[in-house]
Amino acid sequence: MLLHLRNILDPQQLQTARSLLGDQAPWIDGRSSAGSQAQTQKNNEQLAQDSEHARQLRELVLGAVQKDPLFFSAALPRKIFNPLFNRYSGTTNTYGAHVDGAVLHSKAPQQWVRSDISCTLFLSDPADYDGGDLVVQDSFGERRIKLPAGDMVIYPGTSVHRVEPVTRGARVASFFWIESMVRSEQHRRLLFDLDMNLLALRQRLGETPETTALTGTYHNLLRLWADT
Ligand code: NI
């Protein structure tokens, strides 16, 4: 499931994020954190993780995503990798087709995270750069994604994906992974559909014996499938 989550960051938070990610920020070669296949494809810059800039930005992004009910319903997160930050511009401007590692080591807190779901939070205004589409291959073919600043896309960690060359301006984003309480993509999808339709039914009809019973079904399925 590929899902667009809107307004994860508000304009004030975006401004804070951008001011922490300017030229004075400790940008390093993005290849330092890539696995051996991805290293051959990766040509971008990444924010040094042990910096004060990164610490403040991680807090900002984690606080924002954890407040978003749609994110919670779709991802059912058990562990969240510490958000990372990258920049595509100038001669370091692309990331060719690759798959993310299945199990990745997060530094804050120190933990291994299985990459069930990949997340990209767009921080640059799309009018400020050309190119830089995130292209995700799924069973329906290729999906091209270039979102307004503050919006996020989540997609299965199993997907081959790439970032097209940025030919003008700079594309700055946050990216990270989720280990879900529900490992199966199909099970997560069923739970998300049930949750969204229950929400719509409740808005239309209020609470009824049927919505109560179906909420029970949702939780019984979650109990069946979730690991905590
Ligand atoms: Ni990737």
Domains in the chain and their CATH numbers?
Answer: 3-180 (2.60.120.620), 185-225 (4.10.860)
Burial of 132 (0-12, 13-18, 19+ CB in 10 A): buried
Per-residue pLDDT, 36: 80
Contact indicator for 146, 134 with CB cutoff of 8 Å:
yes
State the distance from the centre of ligand 1 to the C-alpha of 98, rounded, in angstroms.
Answer: 6
Strand 129-131, strand 117-122: pairing: unpaired
Q: How close is the Cα of 211 to the center of ligand 1, in Å?
A: 39
pLDDT at residue 138, rounded to an integer: 85
Q: Return per-residue pLDDT of the chain as tens, 228 residues.
A: 999 999 999 999 999 999 999 999 999 999 877 778 888 899 999 999 999 999 999 999 999 999 999 999 999 999 999 999 999 999 999 999 999 999 999 998 999 999 999 999 999 999 999 999 999 998 889 999 999 999 999 999 999 999 999 999 999 999 999 999 999 999 999 999 999 999 999 999 999 999 999 999 999 999 999 999
Q: Ligand 1 center to residue 133 CA distance, Å?
A: 13
Give CA separation, 144 vs 153, 163, 199, in Å: 11, 9, 29
Q: Quote the ligand 1 centre to 121 CA distance (angstroms).
A: 13
Report how far residue 60's alpha carbon sits from residue 227's, in angstroms, rounded to the nearest whole number.
27
Whether residue 79 contacts residue 178, with contact meaning beta carbons closer than 8 Å, is answered with yes
Surrounding residues of ion ligand 1, Cβ less than 5 A: 100
pLDDT, residue 155, reads 97
Torsion sign (Cα): 35, 37, 40, 42: negative
Which of 93, 156, 170, 92 is CA-nearest to residue 126?
170
CA–centroid distance, residue 38 to ligand 1 (Å): 8
- In this structure, what is the dihedral angle of CA atoms 4, 123, 75, 49, given to the nearest 10 degrees? 160
Q: What residues does 4 pair with on adjacent strands?
A: 153
Report CA 223 to chain centroid distance, whole Å: 25
| Residue 94 CA, distance from chain mean position | 18
pLDDT at 33: 76
Which residue is associated with the tokens 């009018």?
127
